[in-house]
Amino acid sequence: MLNSSDTREQIYRYVEQLSQERLAVVLDFLSYLVERENSDATAELLAIPGFAPELNAAEQEAEVDELVDWRALRSDV
């Protein structure tokens, strides 16, 4: 199996050989893959018990600027 670097190099070599029309198809497909990956990651996070309410609470705190500097919470970092 190819490592990530080899895979990317091979993809770039193939992309260089494509016509503009085929590049548009590749772009559409890559866009779909990225959207799908983001969607899968979101679904995984939302499956964590209590995640959605905590996220909503955090977003509301951020909207009203009720934020705490992380350094005040973790001085050991």
What's the pTM? 0.56
Given CA atoms 62, 65, 66, 68 in this order, what sign does their dihedral have? positive
Given CA atoms 29, 30, 33, 34 in this order, what sign does their dihedral have? negative
Show me where the domains of the chain are located.
Answer: 4-73
CA–CA dist 23, 26 (Å, integer): 5
Q: Which tens digit of pLDDT belongs to each residue from 20-74?
A: 999 999 999 999 999 999 999 999 999 999 999 999 998 998 888 888 888 888 7
CA–CA dist 35, 11 (Å, integer): 19
